[in-house]
Amino acid sequence: MSDFSVISSTISPADIGLFVSEKYFRVDNSICHLLKTGINHTYQVDINNESYVFRVYSYDWRTKDEIVEELNLLNLLKKNSLSVSYPIEDKNGNLIQTIEAPEGKRFAVLFSFAHGKKIQNYTADIHFNIGKLMAQIHSFTRDLKQDRISYTSEVLLDQSINYIKQFLSTELEEMQFLITTKTILEAEISKTDFTSIRKGIVHLDIWFDNLNISENGDIALFDFDFCGNGWLCLDIAYYILQLHNTEKNESARIEKMASFYKGYGTIQKISVEEMRLVPTLGVCIYYFYLGIQCKRFNNWSNVFLNETYLKRYITVFIKGYYETTKSETTFL
């Protein structure tokens, strides 16, 4: 056998730089470097003293129609002056490129650069502003629907457990915890008064790794790759979940949670029913993202995902958060 197929490739930054230079700016000089590989591959391209981000979607990850929906959302938010990284057209007015990679056609998009830097642990004032920004986004996405995934309990829980089962025996204690707790989570969701829950398009990945903060506190949000349909409080649940991860000091965390909720409340009201669901949905989202890690084993998570990792993740993160939020203080 002389020819081998490819399941994943990393395109040369030099070639990406040339591609972006020619396709978008028709200039000869650019500097390009790989920011990260992962679910997608992200490059920074510097041209004419301006920086841009070029995302190359992994093969068979998102359909072109799904990407169109993501970009439509970003353009809606940009049109309404919200601080998000937005797509940039090439010289022919196209937003989406198709790259012939060894594994097959991969889509790609050039985005504006979100100025500032990532800060893992920031002040209560910044949490206030992020809460405000999230609520502003929800003001425009409320009651909208896009042709993408809907984050139902089946997607968050059942599908995720099926992915995890491929790597962890159902007989193990950690897997039994997921299966048993899933029933409790579903029962909690089933009690929901749906008339009190706002629906629309959610980001589902708002945390420090997708936020750049400038020296004067300006916030820029990026990476809408997981946007989809669902309860708006899913975004709140995910943000609170991540706050538990980044702020281990309980008094500081409570202060920052209160500040986030206060900022959000200046734009949108969070119902009592939504607040009740925040801890439950946070645990559900933990299931979902662990499922994504398992789903993407072939070309992303295989460098770290194994039985030991999964058992620790379930015990320390999912179970730990589940136990903590049983007595979590909430803010209305």
In whole angstroms, what separates CA 82 from the centre of its chain?
18
Q: 107 forms bridges with which residues in the sheet? A: 98
- pLDDT truncated to tens, each residue of the chain (332 aa)? 678 999 999 999 999 999 999 999 988 788 999 999 999 999 999 998 899 999 999 999 999 999 999 999 999 999 999 999 999 999 999 999 999 999 999 999 999 999 999 999 999 999 999 999 999 999 999 999 999 999 999 999 999 999 999 999 999 999 999 999 999 999 999 999 999 999 999 999 999 999 999 999 899 999 999 999 999 999 999 999 999 999 999 999 999 999 999 999 999 999 999 999 999 999 999 999 999 999 999 999 999 999 999 999 999 999 999 998 876 544 44
Q: Are 201 and 145 in contact (CB under 8 A)?
A: yes
CA distances from 312 to 55, 174, 282, 301, 302 (A): 31, 9, 18, 15, 16
Cα(264)–Cα(139) distance, integer angstroms: 11
pTM: 0.96
Long-range contacts at 317-323 (CB < 8 A, ≥ 24 apart): 317/245, 317/286, 318/177, 318/178, 318/181, 318/283, 318/286, 318/287, 318/290, 319/177, 319/181, 321/241, 321/244, 321/282, 321/283, 321/286, 322/181, 322/283
Dump pLDDT digits (tens) for 137-159.
999 999 999 999 999 999 999 99
Dump pLDDT digits (tens) for 221-276.
999 999 999 999 999 999 999 999 999 999 999 999 999 999 999 999 999 999 99
Q: Which of 205, 189, 207, 190 is nearest to 278 (CA)?
A: 189
Q: Are 38 and 300 in contact (CB under 8 A)?
A: yes
String of b and e for 242-251 (b: at least 16 CB within 10 Å)? Answer: bbbeebeeee
Q: Is the dihedral of CA 147, 148, 152, 158 positive or negative?
A: positive
Q: Is the dihedral of CA 58, 63, 68, 71 positive or negative?
A: negative
Confidence (pLDDT) at 332:
42
